[in-house]
């Protein structure tokens, strides 16, 4: 039984670390976004709490903790309570199969830097992503509010529409690597090169579909402040609100981390074979660069109209992704 | 030996929970809640797939059944008019007949399952199941015909759904 | 042997699931614990930018959303079929490629049909 206990203890430690790191990443991502937005708009941004506003996320967290939690009259109380939790869980769990570094030696045993590595890793990511729709549909439905319902419907229709393009865009790397395991895809990139060079279209489709999947600008129609107040979380306040916020930002991190793994070589970089711990650094740098790109896009591009958004998903991204699959497959078979 | 019985305990717990959620699906009044209990049932089945070492089936179960078909059901529920306030009776006067048929069917199935001498699978060395699955899908000696027919079935479903659900031009 | 692989691959994910669930519940519980509650009739009204809400919020949604969900199910099945094929494509060679091109072409016909019928238009 002792190997089982070893697995359990290792998994508990890694899970706790993962949750902690993602929560911290969320906190500082909000600060980074506000700082970058301030820089772009030539103002200072948060600068009162701590040096450069570095304690701002903590202050926000404490503030939200002491805010009143409201449950609107006519709401479905159970679902209203469950919806933010159901948004948060997939955002955390999707990262389970992403390796953030090569295996390292620690305390005399080989430790995988990642929760697990499944032979169906990419399918696991798709499956967790597809479950993420529930929190949003239920939030919209249970709030008994017109804005929420409309926002929830829009968000869910948008997410499922872009999920197909997302699913098709990951097939390119899978064909090239010949495996669905994320570790396997990184190993394959070690032997050839970063897949963004072989799969520029696939990478682009993945990134755009990922943006839509996490409802980020320019695909943030479901939360359009000007017409839907806050969309599906209009009625939420306090910690439940912050769970939605957290879910959204952690999903951003997850999309960037997965994009890094699939197209940017994951943790690969110079000297990573000699110093495995360096992998975490490379992985973090690449993921952060993509996150910066996401924030930059939000600050630069206006929001798409809803009909344009649906048309873009179904009529542009889907055929593009499908063509990419066909071209990649044909090239792989014919050229070897 | 000890580990095997642990797996059996997990299986029994998951199976019982799955059956319990299935019971809730048909008894709960609120349609959205019923749909969500169905999601719980489907998730239980996915866990059972994992216990059978069928990781691919488990993830497909989640992508397709929880992520697509159950979402479709939730959307369909939202299409209906009265979700929360359904007050009609949940059974009619023939409920006892249904019970008897169900009991007989259950007895028949269980005797069948008990009487079969299940062959022991030769070793558990199947290698990577995903590779085997991908091969068998396009192997002419295995599933290539069902596979191609599946695409035709998908087209039929596509046409059917459009005929049913697309708002007609004359209504505008 | 088999069970050990199962434990190694899926048990950590189950544990992460438990930890994440526990944390989400803990956050909501903390909010309930520390947040004040001063309910009022007007306060708990659905928010409609300060107006008194007109009519019920629970309304039937447009059938178009349902259609999108149906299309999603169908194309999602296609993606799932493509995945195991993509894994072995390198080993399958030309024959596997042609099989899949037939599959994709048949579905492409369906896609064009959907487009021409106007199911992807969103007024």
Q: Using the 8-state DSSP alphabet, how is residue C55 labeled? A: S
Q: How far is A300 from chain B (nearest CA, A)?
A: 32
The pLDDT of residue B170: 46
CB contact under 8 A, B74 and A180: no
B11 inside domain? yes
- Residue A335: how many other CB atoms lie within 10 Å: 6
The verdict on C96 touching B (C-beta cutoff 8 Å) is: yes
CB contact under 8 A, B162 and C117: yes
Give residue B6's domain range: 1-82
Task: Using CB atoms, pick whichever of A4, A131, A138 lies closest to residue B67.
Answer: A131
Q: How far is C52 from chain B (nearest CA, A)?
A: 23
Which of B89 and C102 is assigned the larger pLDDT? C102
B143 inside domain? yes
The H-or-E segment that residue A106 falls in is: strand A104-106
The verdict on C82 touching B (C-beta cutoff 8 Å) is: no
The pLDDT of residue A62: 85
The pLDDT of residue C1: 43
Q: Is the dihedral of CA B112, B118, B124, B130 positive or negative?
A: negative
The pLDDT of residue C59: 66
Task: Using CB atoms, pick whichever of C15, C86, C96 lies closest to residue A8.
Answer: C15
How big is the CA angle at A329 (ends A327 and A330), to the nearest 5 degrees? 65
B105 inside domain? no
Task: Using CB atoms, pick whichever of A72, A117, A178 lies closest to residue C44.
Answer: A72
Highest mean pLDDT, choosing among A72-76, A96-100, A217-221, C57-61: A96-100
Task: Report the C-alpha gap between A324 and A173 in whole angstroms.
Answer: 11
Q: Which chains touch A (3 or more CB pairs under 8 A)?
A: B, C
Question: Would you kindly state where each structural domain of chain A is located, as residue ranges?
Answer: 67-335
B32 inside domain? yes
Centroid of chain to Cα A223: 17
The pLDDT of residue A286: 92
Centroid of chain to Cα A289: 14
The pLDDT of residue B134: 80
The pLDDT of residue A157: 85
Task: Report the C-alpha gap between A139 and A245 in whole angstroms.
Answer: 13
For residue A129, pLDDT over 70 is answered with: yes
Mean pLDDT confidence for A136-158: 82
**Helix A133-142 / helix B31-51 crossing angle, nearest 10 deg:** 160
Superfamily grouping for domain C2-117: NADH:ubiquinone/plastoquinone oxidoreductase, chain 3 (1.20.58.1610)
Q: How far is C25 from chain A (nearest CA, A)?
A: 7
Number of H helices, E strands in chain B: 7, 0
Total structural domains in chain B?
A: 2
C59 and A149 Cβ atoms separated by less than 8 Å: yes
The tens digit of pLDDT for each residue in B107-152 reads 999 999 888 887 766 655 556 777 878 888 777 777 888 888 888 8
Task: Report the C-alpha gap between C91 and A88 in whole angstroms.
Answer: 40
The verdict on B17 touching A (C-beta cutoff 8 Å) is: no
* Co-location of B67 and B1 in the same domain: yes
A73 and C47 Cβ atoms separated by less than 8 Å: no
Mean pLDDT confidence for A185-194: 87
Task: Using CB atoms, pick whichever of B66, B75, B130 lies closest to residue A180.
Answer: B130
Average pLDDT of chain A? 85
For residue A111, pLDDT over 70 is answered with: yes
For residue A76, pLDDT over 70 is answered with: yes
The H-or-E segment that residue A109 falls in is: strand A109-111
- The percentage of chain A sitting over the pLDDT mark of 90, rounded to a whole number, equals 21
For residue A55, pLDDT over 80 is answered with: yes
C64 and B167 Cβ atoms separated by less than 8 Å: yes
Provide the pLDDT confidence category of residue C3 given band limits of 50, 70 and 90.
Answer: low
* Co-location of B58 and B132 in the same domain: no
The pLDDT of residue A261: 92
* Co-location of B78 and B7 in the same domain: yes
The tens digit of pLDDT for each residue in B7-29 reads 788 889 999 999 999 999 988 88
For residue C87, what are the contacts with CB-CB under 8 A and spacing of at least 6? A174, A178, A179, A180, B130, B131, B134
The verdict on B150 touching C (C-beta cutoff 8 Å) is: yes
Mean pLDDT confidence for A267-283: 84
* Co-location of B8 and B70 in the same domain: yes
**Which domain CATH number covers B5?**
1.20.120.1200
The tens digit of pLDDT for each residue in C55-84 reads 666 666 777 888 888 888 888 888 888 888
For residue B171, pLDDT over 50 is answered with: no
- Mutation target among B158, B170, B171, B172 for the C interface, most CBs of C within 10 A: B158
For residue B1, pLDDT over 50 is answered with: no
Average pLDDT of chain B? 82
For residue A172, pLDDT over 70 is answered with: yes
Burial class of A156 by CB neighbour count within 10 A (0 to 12, 13 to 18, 19+): buried
Q: Is the dihedral of CA A306, A307, A308, A313 positive or negative?
A: positive
The pLDDT of residue C2: 58
CB contact under 8 A, A69 and C32: yes
* Co-location of B5 and B78 in the same domain: yes
* Domain final residue pick, B57, B82, B107: B82
Q: How many CB pairs below 8 A link B and C?
A: 134
| Chain B residues with CB-CB distance to C8 below 8 A | none
The pLDDT of residue B83: 55
Lowest mean pLDDT among A242-256, A292-306, C38-52, C74-88: C38-52
């Amino acid at each position: 039984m002792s190997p089982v206990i070893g697995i359990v203890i290792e998994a508990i430690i890694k899970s706790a670390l993962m949750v902690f790191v993602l929560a911290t990443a969320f906190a500082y991502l909000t600060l980074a976004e506000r700082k970058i937005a301030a820089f772009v708009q030539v103002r200072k941004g948060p600068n009162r709490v701590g040096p450069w506003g570095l304690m701002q996320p903590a202050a926000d967290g404490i503030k939200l903790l002491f805010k009143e939690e409201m449950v609107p009259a006519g709401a479905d109380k159970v679902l209203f309570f469950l919806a933010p939790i159901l948004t948060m869980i997939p955002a955390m769990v999707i990262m389970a199969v992403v390796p953030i570094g090569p295996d390292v030696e620690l305390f005399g045993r080989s430790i995988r830097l990642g929760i697990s590595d499944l032979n169906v890793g990419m399918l696991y990511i798709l499956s967790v992503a597809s479950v993420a729709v529930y929190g949003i549909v239920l939030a919209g439905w249970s709030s008994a509010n017109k804005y929420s319902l409309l926002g929830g419907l829009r968000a869910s229709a948008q997410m499922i529409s872009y999920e197909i393009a997302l699913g098709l865009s990951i097939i390119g790397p899978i064909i090239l690597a010949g495996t669905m395991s994320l570790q396997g895809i990184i190993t394959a990139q070690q032997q050839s090169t970063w897949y963004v060079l072989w799969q520029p279209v696939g990478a682009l489709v993945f990134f755009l579909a990922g943006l839509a999947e996490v409802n980020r600008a320019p695909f943030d129609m479901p939360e359009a402040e000007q017409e839907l107040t806050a969309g599906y979380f209009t009625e939420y306040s306090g910690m439940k609100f912050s769970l939605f916020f957290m879910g959204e930002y952690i999903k951003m991190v997850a999309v960037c981390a997965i994009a890094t793994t699939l197209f940017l070589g994951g943790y690969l970089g110079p000297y990573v074979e000699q110093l495995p711990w360096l992998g975490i650094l490379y992985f973090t740098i690449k993921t952060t660069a993509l996150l910066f790109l996401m924030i930059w896009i939000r600050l630069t591009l206006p929001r798409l109209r809803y009909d344009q958004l649906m048309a873009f998903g179904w009529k542009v991204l889907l055929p593009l992704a499908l063509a990419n699959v066909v071209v990649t497959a044909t090239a792989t078979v014919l050229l070897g | 030996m000890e580990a095997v019985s642990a797996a059996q305990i997990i299986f029994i717990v998951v199976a019982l929970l799955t059956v319990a959620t299935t019971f809730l699906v048909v008894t709960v009044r609120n349609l959205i809640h019923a749909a969500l209990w169905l999601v719980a049932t489907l998730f239980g089945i996915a866990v059972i797939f994992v216990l059978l070492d069928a990781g691919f089936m488990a993830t497909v179960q989640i992508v397709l059944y929880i992520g697509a078909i159950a979402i479709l059901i939730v959307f369909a529920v939202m299409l209906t008019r009265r979700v929360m306030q359904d007050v009609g009776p949940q059974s009619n006067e023939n409920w006892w007949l249904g019970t008897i048929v169900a009991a007989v069917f259950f007895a028949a199935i269980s005797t069948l399952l008990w009487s079969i001498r299940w062959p022991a699978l030769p070793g558990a060395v199947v290698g990577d199941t995903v590779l085997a699955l991908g091969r068998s899908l396009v192997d002419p000696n295995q599933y290539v015909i069902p596979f191609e027919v599946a695409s035709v079935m998908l087209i039929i479903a596509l046409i059917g759904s459009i005929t049913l659900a697309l708002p007609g031009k004359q209504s505008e | 042997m088999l069970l050990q692989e199962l434990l190694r691959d899926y048990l950590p994910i189950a544990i992460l699931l438990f930890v994440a669930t526990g944390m989400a519940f803990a956050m909501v519980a903390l909010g309930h614990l520390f947040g004040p509650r001063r309910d009022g009739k007007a306060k708990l009204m659905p928010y409609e930018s300060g107006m008194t809400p007109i009519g019920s919020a629970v309304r039937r949604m447009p059938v178009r959303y349902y259609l999108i969900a149906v299309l999603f199910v169908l194309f999602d099945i296609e993606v799932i079929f493509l995945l195991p094929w993509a894994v072995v494509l390198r080993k399958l060679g030309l024959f596997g490629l042609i099989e899949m091109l037939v599959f994709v072409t048949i579905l492409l016909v369906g896609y064009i049909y959907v487009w021409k019928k106007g199911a992807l238009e969103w007024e």
